[in-house]
Structure 1
Amino acid sequence: MMIPVERRPVIVDALRTPIGTSGGALRDVDVTGLLAPVLAELARHSPGPIGEVSIGNVRGPGGNPARVAALAAGLPVDVPAITVDRQCGSGLAALEHSVAMLSGLHEGFHIAGGVQSASTQPWTFWPPTAPDAEPVRYERAPFTPASFGDPDMGVAADLVAAECGITRERQDAYAVRSHQRAVASQAVGLFDDELVALPALDHDERPRAGFTVERLARFRPAFGPGGTCTAANCCGVNDGAAALLLCDGATAQRHGLHGLRVIDVVTAAGRPDRPGLGITAAVGKLVERTGVNLASIDVIDFNEAFAAQVLACLDQLRIDEERNCPQGGAIALGHPWAASGAVQLVRLFTQLVRSPQQPDARLGLAGIAIGGGQGTAMLVEAI
């Protein structure tokens, strides 16, 4: 059952840091250093006290990074905070958590978002398997039991490309367009008002003005011989934070606040060995619940983890690829894992509320695929 209209929470502000390349400008900025400035700025903008902070984070410093960053941001000590981990969907999971709370017994203002510092995440090791063995560096989480195959994300994207007929040429062309759009948006300042500049970085580090289809064609397969996914037609490994200020519907009405009303948010699960297709499952379930016609969506942001994967989802949902990420997506901007879902909502807020490019644009749709075969989709409307 969908949230009744009068109880639907409203996103009233949305900010993010610039997105850095792992090992780049933000290499010495930890999770707290990324997130605290965003929380502080949102709290400063809030018409009322913050009731809770919900933040997504993957393989970070441990403990409760949301609480640490909230205190570092100067929020009162009586503001509770929770950190959630749903892999790449963590930012949207944190937002989903706050939406659920504000749709029920809670009222007032919450902050929800995500943060990832791939550059500073701790090194961890599997314990030795024998008395004379060495510890083994922990490189990635297991997304499924071994009986499901648990392919690496890149390997799974190659499999999706082959099975869905997504050619290398199409992937490269899509990636070039993502960079071109992001570079053009950056040049005219379309990101400026959503950014909280950091001392080490005041702009997104990854977009490349010089990418062409001819240049991308020279990149070799990144995940195995014969594959079509390369380092250039997929996202990078990135650092960044993003968060949203939201409140329950009654509070928004009482304060006369405008923003993005959350119509519905859905998490779905499908094939664990084809994780990139999780967007299709989530959006399908959301359409079933809401009855929304995908042709009526004004701004679509499906996370571009891999060109192959996002193109397959767009094809399955019968959405023209040109409609996705009109100002550039994660292939160009970067994919700071746990922050990416929140970045998507910041981008929708800018395009539908802060500086709409279409005068009558109203509906926005975000979707993200998650390791283990899950996906989350959120439908919002500008009010």
Structure 2
Amino acid sequence: MNRAVIVKAKRTPIGKVNGMLKNYGPHELAAPLIKDLAEGQEEKINDVILGNAVGPGGNIARLSALEAGLPLSVPGLTLDRQCSAGLEAIRMASYFIQGGAGTCYIAGGTESVSTSPYPSRARFSPDKVGDPDMGLAAEYVAEKYAISKESQDEYARLSYERSWTAHRQGLLTDEIIPMGEYQTDEELFKQRKIEALLKRAKPIFKKSGTVTAANSCGIHDGASAVLIMEEEAARRQGLTPVLRFLDSEVAGVHPFYPGFAPVPAIQTILERNYLTIEDIDLAEINEAFSSKIAACANELSIPYEKLNVNGGALTIGHPYGASGAIMVTKLFHEVQRRKSAKYALAAIGSGGGIGVAVLFEVVSQK
């Protein structure tokens, strides 16, 4: 079987909704990434696959590829699995390579909530099943899995501190391609007093609830993508494989509990590969809500020491269709700082109760 490896991974800085990136459409966010990732491989790229959740419709991947100046022969595929779309794009490209459909893909996601033409979210589930907003669903997860406000706030504080530490240490610089004058995540322009924010924040989705604005992610714009190649083809081009795709899984749960959906996906992927959570050196689970992270970490016994080690969406934001690719980009750069890392895992839950998990092996750099 052909082996798919990630050799490059980048993201834009993340902007607040109607903030610094408000004038960029989703294709304009993705195009600079595609151009950078494709450098030297333009004629070899089989396809560009991008996830997107909130429009404007059409084939954004093809539009982005053309905007980036790729050859007309490079097509483009846009997919929507809501918040897991960016990770699904990477998963799909990896399977295409394994199956021999091609040897070189750009995959990821892009989201411009600021320019979205849609005034409200898409339907996740029919009324007969129940179709809660994601915030209310985060409350349902907290209730069902006994996640207290204190534990949610504790994780939100940890994530915030990790994001700021990574920013100050320059760990995020390698991930980011500047957008015009912007090369830093907008939420990192000015530090807030997180303890005070957590203390005074009130429930916003349920009167007697535990989910607040301070332990939830914000709404943001941004894009992220990776260059995935067949391993031997990459080596022939003088490129260095960093993450090798091993396996993936998609799971469905009740639409009331999308935040818990990564759990069965991760459990299946570990069992199938004869691994335990102790074998995983680094894990990224999208930080849409603290209740989700705490529930998944508790159920899977994931220590926070190896989960979202440089912070995540709770601080820098969650550009829906891009977030899965942002997590993989974070893993790509972090494993290179940890020479002993062997396995890395990325997972995300999305509207409708869908969980996607992807398992990577860290390629030994001899």
Q: Same fold (TM over 0.5)?
A: yes
Q: Distance in 1 between matches of 2:237 and 2:274?
A: 30
Residue from 299, 317, 338 that aligns with 1:334 = 317
Aligned counterpart, 1:285 = 268
| Cα shift at 1:288 | 2.0
The equivalent residue for 1:164 is 145
* CA deviation after TM superposition for structure 1 residue 59, in Å: 2.0
- Counterpart for residue 163 of structure 2: 182
Corresponding letter in the other structure for 1:248 = E
**Residue 146 (structure 1) aligned to one of 123, 127, 131:** 127
**Is the 8 Å Cα contact of residues 250 and 354 (structure 2) preserved in structure 1?**
yes
Which residue type is aligned with residue 376 of structure 1?
V
**Partner of residue 35, structure 1:** 30
Q: Distance in 1 between matches of 2:139 and 2:3?
A: 39
Greater gyration radius: 1
Q: How does 1:54-133 map to 2 (within 5 A)?
A: 54-123=49-118
Change (3 A) 1:53 1:199: same
After superposition, the C-alpha distances for 1:167-207 in whole angstroms (9 at most, x for unaligned) are: 11111111111111111111111011111100152101124
Which position in structure 2 is the counterpart of 1:296? 279
3-state DSSP of counterpart to 2:200: coil
Query: C-alpha separation between the residues in 1 aligned to 2:193 and 2:70?
Result: 42
Q: 1:261 is matched by which residue type in structure 2? A: R
Give the secondary structure class of the aligned counterpart of 2:329.
helix
Counterpart CA distance in 1 for 2:220 and 2:93 is 25
3-state SS of 1:146 partner: coil
Contact 1:46 1:245 in 2 (8 A): no
Cα distance in 2 between the residues matched to 1:234 and 1:200: 28
Q: TM-score, normalised by structure 1?
A: 0.91
Q: Deviations over 1:113-133 (max 9, x none)?
A: 00000000113xxxxxxxxxx
In 2: Cα distance, 1:219 partner to 1:285 partner: 37
Paired AA for residue 147 in structure 2: I
Matched, 1:247 2:229: yes
2:105 match: secondary structure = strand
SS at match of 1:217: helix
Count of matched residue pairs: 361
Segment of structure 1 superposing worse, 250-259 or 142-151: 250-259
2:244 is matched with which residue: 237, 261, 264? 261
Pairwise CA distance, 1:86: 0.2
Q: Distance in 1 between matches of 2:102 and 2:140?
A: 45
Shift of 1:285: 1.4
SS in 1 for 2:341: coil
Q: Please give the alpha-carbon distance, in whole angstroms, between the structure 1 residues aligned to 2:274 and 2:251.
A: 17
Separation in 2, partners of 1:339, 1:310 = 19
Q: How far did 1:210 drift? A: 2.8
Segment of structure 1 superposing worse, 227-236 or 265-274: 265-274
Identity of aligned residues (%): 40
Q: Aligned equivalents of 2:48 and 2:153: distance in 1?
A: 39
Structure 2: segments with no counterpart, 5+ residues: none
Displacement after TM superposition at 1:108 (Å) = 2.3
Distance 2:42 2:52 in 1: 27
Match of 2:293 among 305, 310, 329: 310
Counterpart of 1:246, as a letter, is I
Residues 112-164 of structure 1, C-alpha deviations (whole Å, 9 max, x = no match):
000000000113xxxxxxxxxxxxxx511111111111111111111111221
SS in 2 for 1:206: helix
Larger deviation, residues 203-212 vs 216-225: 203-212
SS of alignment partner, residue 349 of structure 2: strand
TM-score, normalisation: structure 2? 0.95
Matched residue type, 2:51: G
RMSD of aligned Cα (Å)? 1.5
Distance 1:316 1:291 in 2: 18
Which residue number in structure 1 is paired with residue 3 of structure 2? 8
